[in-house]
Amino acid sequence: MTNKYMYFIANWKMFGNLKTLNSINKVISFTKKNKKNKFKLVYCPPASLLFPLSKKLQATSIDIGGQNCHESQNFGANTGYINSKMLKDVGAKYVILGHSENRQLGESDKLINSKIQSSIKSGLKVIFCIGETLKQKKKKITKRVLFSQISKGLKKIRNKKNIIIAYEPVWSIGSGMIPREYELFEIIKYIKNKVRGVKVLYGGSVNSKSIKNLKKINNVDGFLIGGASQVSKNFIDIIKKTYN
C-alpha cells in the first residue's frame, strides 16, 4: 500500500492544552521532510485549541477540523455550542460528526443528518462516523446497523464529494481490539458499495502496533486516530509504518 493517498485524522477528544500544541512541531517537520508520500493530516483538537492550532499550522499542509458542531448555521441562544460556520471562521476545513461517543449521549441519526447538511452548506468536509456495538456484532447485524446509519445520516445529501466515512466499531474504540483483516475488508467494501465514490477510513485502537495489520487492508483510505494521535512520536510512527 505504498503509493496510496491516505488520510490520518487525529481526534484529540477532550485532551490537550496550549502547552501540548508545542509537541506538534515534530509532526510539522516530519511532513516537511516527507513530501514523497501523499497523505493528508488533519488535527481535530478540542474547540479551545482550534484557533491557536489554526495559526500554528498556517504555513503547513496540515489541516484542522472540529469534533462536533450544532446543527444550526445561525448564531443562537445555545449555551455551550458552536456551529459549522464558526468552525469555518477559525480555519477548520473538516468536522467529525456522528462519533459514537456523541451517539451514546443521545445524538440521533436525524440530528446527525441535520449537522451534516449544515456543515456541508458551510463548506466543511464531514468525517461521518458509523459503527456497530459489540452486542450488535455478536448478533451478526453489523451490516444492517451500518446501512441504517448511512441511509438516515446521509438522507437528502445528493452530492457526497465532501463526505468521508469513518468506520469505527464501538467495541474497538479505546479497547485495543481491532477487527480481523477479512472482516474489515468486507465491511469497507460493503460501505463503498452503498455510497459510491466515498472514501472510507477505519478508526478504533489504531496505534503503532495495530497499524502493521491494518495497513494490509487495501481498500481503506486512511485512519481516524484517538489516543495514539496525542503523542506526536506515536502519530508519526503510524504514518511511517503505513508506507513501509
Question: Which residues form the catalytic set?
Answer: 99, 168
Interface segment toward ligand PGA; rule CB under 6 A; list 102-110, 143-151, 178-186, 224-232: 224-232
Cell matching residue 118: 449544515
Short-list 136, 132, 102, CA closest to 116: 102
What whole-number distance in Å separates Cα of residue 196 and Cα of residue 133?
25
Of 65, 55, 61, 116, give the one whose Cα is nearest residue 88. Answer: 65
Cell of 144: 444492517
DSSP structure string for 149-164 = HHHHHTTT----TTEE
Total residues at interface with ligand PGA (CB under 6 A): 13
Of the listed pieces 72-80, 213-221, 222-230, 231-239, which binds ligand PGA according to CB under 6 A? Answer: 222-230
Task: Please report whether residue 203 would count as binding ligand PGA according to CB under 6 A.
Answer: yes
Contact region with ligand PGA (CB under 6 A), list: 24-32, 147-155, 191-199, 218-226: 218-226
Q: Please state the length of the chain.
A: 244
**Which of 10, 11, 24, 62 forms a contact with ligand PGA (CB under 6 A)?**
11
First-to-last alpha carbon distance for the chain, in angstroms, is 8
Residues 151-170 that bind ligand PGA (CB under 6 A): 168
Nearer to ligand PGA, 16 or 203 (CB): 203
**Can residue 225 be called a binding residue for ligand PGA (CB under 6 A)?**
yes
Contact residues for ligand PGA (CB under 6 A)?
11, 168, 173-174, 203-206, 224-228
